[in-house]
Amino acid sequence: MSWLLKDVLLYGEGSPTDVVLRDGVIAEIGTGLSGDETIDGAGCVLLPGLVDLHTHLREPGREDAETVETGTRAAAVGGFTAVHAMANTNPVADTAGVVEQVWRLGQEAGHCDVFPVGAVTVGLEGKEMAELGTMADSAARVRVFSDDGKCVSDASLMRRALEYVKAFDGVIAQHAQEPRLTDGAQMNEGINSSLLGLTGWPAVAEEAIIARDCLLTAHVGGRLHVCHVSTAGSVELIRWAKSKGWDVTAEVTPHHLLLTDDACCGYDPTFKVNPPLRTQADVDAVREGLADGTIDAVATDHAPHALEDKETEWGAAAMGMIGLETALSVVAQTMVEPGRLTWRQVAERMSEAPARIGRLDGHGRPLAVGEPANVVLVDPTARWVVDPAQTTSRSRNTPFAGHELPVRIRATFLRGTPTAVEGKPA
Amino acid sequence: MKRHLLSAADLSLDDATLILDTALEMAAVSDRTVKKLPTLRGRTVVNLFFEDSTRTKTSFELAAKRLSADVINFAAKGSSVSKGETLKDTALTLEAMGTDAVVIRHSWSGAPVNLARIIRGSVVNAGDGTHEHPTQALLDAYTMRQRLGRIEGLKVTIVGDILHSRVARSNVLLLKTLGADVTLVAPPTLLPTGVDAWPAEVSYDLDSVLPKSDVVMMLRVQRERMGAAYFPSVREYSRRYGLDVDRAAQLQDHTIVMHPGPMVRGMEIASEVADGLRSTIQDQVTNGVAVRMAVLYLLLGGSESAIGSVEQ
C-alpha cells in the first residue's frame, strides 16, 4: 500500500509538491505522482514526525490514568512518531526488565515508537546508581536517563552519572529542582503565591541545579539535558553553558510557552504542575530561548492523571498536565504565528533536535527520498477549540480547555503507515 | 449566582461597611437577656472544620444559633474524612442533606474556593491554610472602629509571621478597602516573596514603626518555625519583634493592641501588654460573634447585594 500526499509544502517552504510513501520510506518526491491512497494536502505543511523527549505513559502502575496503548494513540493524534517514556512508573523503570517491557508494549501498540527513559538511581531515590549500562544494552537501547519528577540532587552522584553514561553515549536528563528550596512547594514563588497563601517554588531552586550541573558536565566532559526549563534565569545559564561549548541541551514544554501563574489564582489543580507555571517575563524568556536555539527542543511533559487526583484541594492534587495532542498547536500559536519560528525551525525543535538528543536513528530525518516515512501533515490554517472530553489520552487534565488553538494534524505516518488521520487514531 | 465569603477581597467598601453596620445591630442583641433573633429559622448552617479550632468554631456556632439557624458541627477528625473521603464527596453529602451555608476551616489554602464550585449554598471561609480568614479581618475592623471611631486613615501595624498568616492577608486586603494604611513588620524570613506588591508598607524595624501606629496587631509565631531556620531562637525573636512593656510605653496614648489569638505570652507579646488597657483581645472575641452573625445574616437572609459573590 502506498500513500500519495498531494500538493504539500515540505517544511512549509517552496511550491506544492507530491510525496509518495511506500514500503516504509519516502519513495518519491515530485509532481504528478500517484499512489494507492491519496490525501489532498493543498495548503498543508509536511514535517518529519514529531519526537517527544518527555512523556509519562504511566504503565506499568497507573493504567487508570494512561497506558502505553492510549498514550501512544494520543501521541499519534498529536503528530508524534516517537516518544520517550519517563521512568517514574511503578515499578520504576530502573532495570532492563522494566524498560524492555515498556519498549515491547510500544512495539505491540504500534502507534508510535516508544523509547523508554531509564532511571538514574534505583527507585528514583537518589541514592544508588541504577544499572544504566544494562538498560543501555537491553532491547530497549536506552540512551536517555532521568529521575524525572525528582532531581538527582546529590552532586557527587550526578557527577558519577554524567561520567558513567559516556561509555554508551548516554545523556542525563535532569529535573532541576533543589529539594531543600522546594519543600512543600505548590506553585511559582512570587506575587501570586504570596496572595494565594501557597508555598512557593522559587526560580532559584531550578537555576542553582542547572548552574551546578553545567559545571559538572564541563568538568567530566559529559552530556547534560535539562528538562522543562521554566525560568528566565535558566535560559541565561544554558546560553552561557553553550557559549562555553559544553554539551548541554534543554527542552521547554508547551505549557511553559503559553501559560503564566495567573492561571493558578482560582485554585484549579489542572494548573498545578512541576516545575510550576511562571511569570510573563519567564514565558517571554523561554520563547526567546527556543527561538534563538538556546533551548533545543519542545517536550510535552505529558502527565496524565486520574480525575480523582486532580478534582481535589490544590495542595492535595497531583502535579502535571497532558500535552501530546496540543503541543504542535501551542507551538504554532506562541512561536510560528508571531514569527519567532519558521516551520523549518519547528521541524528542528520538535523532531530533529529531540531525535539527536535521544540518539534515535530512524526519527528526525530529512524529508528526502529513501528516508523513513515518519512524517506528519499539518493544516496551518485550521483552528480548533480544546475540549477535555474529546482527548485521545485516557486522562482529561489539559490546561488548554476552551482555548482556541491554530493547526490541525491531518495525518501522522509511522514508517509509511497512517497512525492518525484527521484528528482520530487510524 | 452563588454567594460566598471566600476572601476579604470579595468585599467592596459598601459590602464591608454594611457588614460592620449590621454587626453593630447584632451586638445589641447580645446585650439582651434573650440573645436570639428568628431571622434564620429553618435554615441550616454546617460548620465543616478540617482543622481544630475551638474558638472560631464556637464563635460561628454561637452566631448561627443566635440567628435561630440549625447548626451542624461536622468535624473532619473521626469522620469519614479521616478515612480518605475527599472534600468533593463531603461537599456532595452536605449538599444532598440540604444545607444553606457551609462554614469551612481547612488546612489547605483555597479549599473554600474548591468547595464553592461544588455546592449550591453559601460558603464562608473560616480560615484556609495560609491564605485567608476574612471574618477575622472583619471583626478586627469592627474592633478598630469601636475603639477609635473610624478606620479610614488609621495607621495599622501588623507584626509577626506574615508569611504563614491568613489573618495578615485578610487584614491587608480589607484594611486597604476601608482606607487604612498598613505596615507589616517581621524578620525578612517571615515575609513572603512578592510582598512588595501588597497594598502595604514593609519594615524590619519594629521600634521605628511603633510610635506612628494607631493600631498594633501582634500575630502568633509558631515555635516550629524556629526549627526551619526562620529565626534563631524564641529569645531573639522576642527581643527584636516582641511587644514588651518597654516597647508598649513608646505607643501613643490612644493606640490599641490587638491579637487574633491564640497568643504566646512572653514571646510575641508580654502578659502586661496583653492584659493592659490598650489590649482589645477580649473585645475581639466578643465582636467575633456579632460580625459572624452579620455575615451569615447578609449571606442567607439579608439584602441581595450585601456581600460580594463568586460568579460560577
pLDDT digits (tens, 9 = 90+) for B197-206: 999 999 999 9
Question: What does the DSSP 8-state code read for residue B85?
Answer: -
The side-by-side arrangement of strands in the sheet containing B70-75 is B70-75, B44-49, B101-106, B122-128
Q: What is the pLDDT of residue A23?
A: 98
Q: CATH number of the domain that B168 lies in?
A: 3.40.50.1370
Overall domain count for chain A: 2
Of A190, A312, A314, the CB nearest to B86: A312
Please tell me whether residues B168 and B248 are part of one structural domain.
Answer: yes
Contact assignment for B194 to A313 by CB distance below 8 Å: no
In a domain, A12, yes or no: yes
Question: How much is the pLDDT for B222?
Answer: 82
Indicate whether A70 and A181 sit together in one domain: yes
**Which chain B residues contact residue A193 at CB under 8 A?**
192-194
Are B51 and B139 part of one and the same domain?
no
Confidence of residue B81 (pLDDT cuts 50, 70, 90): low
**Residue of chain B nearest A307, judged by CA positions:** B88
Give the Cα separation of A47 and B3 in Å (integer): 52
Average pLDDT over every residue of A210-223? 98
Q: Do B162 and B70 lie in a common domain?
A: no
pLDDT recorded at residue B86: 81
> Domain for residue B310, yes or no?
no
Q: Which residues of A touch B86 (CB under 8 A)?
A: 308, 311-312
- Asked if the Cβ–Cβ distance from A192 to B194 is below 8 Å, we say yes
Number of separate domains in chain B: 2
B60 touches chain A (CB under 8 A): no
Q: Given this model, what pLDDT does residue B2 score?
A: 42
Give the residue from A301, A329, A357 where a domain finishes: A357
pLDDT tier at B308 (50, 70, 90 boundaries)? very low
What is the pLDDT at residue B35? 86
**Which range of residues forms the domain containing residue A393?**
3-45+371-425
Which of A66-80, A200-214, A397-411, B36-50 is predicted with the least confidence, judged by mean pLDDT?
B36-50
Per residue in A327-351, pLDDT (tens digit) is: 999 999 999 999 999 999 999 999 9
Q: What is the pLDDT of residue A207?
A: 98
Domain end, chosen from A304, A323, A357, is at A357
* B307 belongs to a structural domain: no
Residue B250 included in any domain: yes
* B75 exposure class (CB count in 10 Å sphere: 0-12, 13-18, 19+): middle
Is residue B25 included in any domain, yes or no? yes
Considering the domain architecture, whether residues B145 and B195 belong to the same structural domain is answered as: yes
From the centroid of its chain, how far is CA A17?
Answer: 30
pLDDT tens for A62-106 read 999 999 999 999 999 999 999 999 999 999 999 999 999 999 999
Provide the number of CB pairs (under 8 Å) joining chain A to chain B: 70
pLDDT surpassing 60 at residue B1: no
C-alpha distance from residue A342 to each of A5, A249, A291, A380, A410 (Å): 21, 21, 9, 12, 19
- Residue A276: pLDDT band (50, 70, 90) is very high
> Count H helices, E strands: chain B?
12, 9
Distance separating alpha carbons of residues A86 and A59, to the nearest angstrom: 10
Q: Cα–Cα distance between A132 and A22 in angstroms, integer?
A: 37
Give per-residue pLDDT as tens, B143-159. Answer: 999 999 999 999 999 99
- Is the same domain home to A192 and A217? yes
Q: Does residue A362 belong to any structural domain of this protein?
A: no
* pLDDT at B47 > cutoff 90: yes
Contacts within 8 Å (CB) and 24+ apart, A344-351: A344/A11, A344/A12, A344/A13, A345/A291, A346/A47, A347/A11, A347/A47, A347/A48, A349/A290, A349/A295, A349/A296, A349/A297, A349/A298, A350/A47, A350/A50, A350/A51, A350/A297, A350/A298, A351/A47, A351/A48, A351/A49, A351/A50, A351/A51
Q: What secondary structure letter does DSSP report for A86?
A: P
Residues of A in contact with B84 (CB under 8 A): none
A221 in the same domain as A94: yes
Q: Are residues B103 and B161 in the same domain?
A: no
Structural domain contains residue B162 = yes
Structure confidence by residue, pLDDT tens digits, A22-76: 999 999 999 999 999 999 999 999 999 999 999 999 999 999 999 999 999 999 9
Q: What per-residue confidence (pLDDT) applies to B77?
A: 62
User: Which of chain B's residues have a Cβ under 8 Å away from the Cβ of A192?
Assistant: 194
Tell me, what's the ipTM?
A: 0.92
pLDDT classification of B75: cutoffs 50, 70, 90: confident
Indicate if B250 and B236 belong to the same structural domain: yes
Sign (positive or negative) of CA dihedral A371, A377, A380, A386: negative
Chain B residues closer than 8 Å to A315 by CB? 107-110, 129
Residues of chain B above pLDDT 70, percent? 93
Same domain membership, residue A151 and residue A258? yes
**Which of A331, A357, A383 is at the close of a domain?**
A357
Which CATH number does the domain housing residue A401 bear? 2.30.40.10
Q: Does A388 lie in the same domain as A258?
A: no
Percent of chain A's residues with pLDDT above 90:
100
Model confidence at A162: pLDDT above 70: yes
Taking residues A357-381, report their average pLDDT.
98
Residues B109 and B142 in one domain: no
Instruction: Give the pLDDT confidence of B29-40 residue by residue, as tens digits.
Output: 888 888 899 999
Q: Is residue B305 part of a domain?
A: no
Would you call A312 and B130 a contact, using CB atoms and an 8 Å cutoff? no
Q: Are residues B157 and B123 in the same domain?
A: no
Residues B97 and B209 in one domain: no
State whether A41 and A185 are in the same domain: no
Residue A365 lies in a domain: no
Q: Which residue of A has its CA nearest to B112?
A: A313
Query: Does A284 share its domain with A349?
Result: yes
- pLDDT category, B83, cuts 50, 70, 90? low
Taking CB atoms within 8 Å and a gap of at least 24, the contacts of B303-307 are: B303/B18, B306/B15, B306/B18, B306/B19, B306/B22, B307/B3, B307/B5, B307/B10, B307/B11, B307/B15, B307/B18, B307/B19
Which band of pLDDT confidence, cut at 50, 70 and 90, is reported for residue B79? low
Q: Do residue A129 and residue A257 come from a single domain?
A: yes
List pLDDT tens digits, range B160-176.
999 999 999 999 999 99
Q: What is the mean pLDDT of residues A209-219?
A: 98
| Average pLDDT in chain B | 91
Is residue A300 domain-resident? Answer: yes
Chain-chain contact of A202 with B193 (C-beta, under 8 angstroms): yes
What pLDDT does B78 receive? 52
Same domain, B129 and B147: no
Predicted pLDDT at B52:
83
Q: What pLDDT is recorded for position B74?
A: 84
Residues B168 and B140 in one domain: yes
pLDDT at position B95 is 87
pLDDT in tens, B235-274: 999 999 999 999 999 999 999 999 999 999 999 999 999 9
pLDDT value at B137 more than 90 = yes
User: B 191-210 residues with CB below 8 A of A?
Assistant: 192-195, 197-198
Residues of A identified as active-site:
301
Per-chain mean pLDDT for chain A: 98
A366 is a domain residue: no
B109 touches chain A (CB under 8 A): yes
**Residue A56 pLDDT:** 98
Element (H or E) spanning A47, and its range?
Answer: strand A45-48
Is residue B71 a part of any domain in this protein?
yes
The number of angstroms, rounded, from the C-alpha of B260 to the middle of its chain's C-alpha atoms is: 7
- More confident position, B17 or B74: B17
B116 plus B59 within the same structural domain: yes
Interface list for chain A against chain B, based on CB atoms closer than 8 Å: 186, 189-200, 202, 266-267, 308, 311-316
In the numeric block, the cell 523509547 is attached to A115
Domain of residue B170, residue span: 134-284
Task: Tell whether A113 and A149 lie within a shared domain.
Answer: yes
- Same domain, yes or no: A305 and A342: yes
Q: Is residue A363 part of a domain?
A: no
CATH number at residue A134: 3.20.20.140
pLDDT class of B229 with cuts at 50, 70, 90: confident
| pLDDT of B194 higher than 50 | yes
Residue in chain A nearest B193 by alpha carbon: A190
What is the predicted pLDDT for the residue at B223? Answer: 77
Residues of chain A positioned with their CB less than 8 A from the CB of B87: 312-313
Q: What span, in angstroms and rounded, lies between the C-alpha atoms of B19 and A13?
A: 65
Q: Judge whether B91 lies within some domain.
A: yes
Query: Which of A188, A191, A192, A195 best probes binding to B when mutated, by most B CB atoms within 10 angstroms?
Result: A195
State yes or no: pLDDT of B15 exceeds 90. yes
Range list of β-strands (E), A150-278: 171-174, 187-188, 200-201, 224-226, 248-252
Same domain (yes/no): A204, A337: yes
Given a cut of 50, whether residue B43 has pLDDT beyond it is: yes
Residue A180 and residue A224 share a domain: yes
| A316: in domain | yes
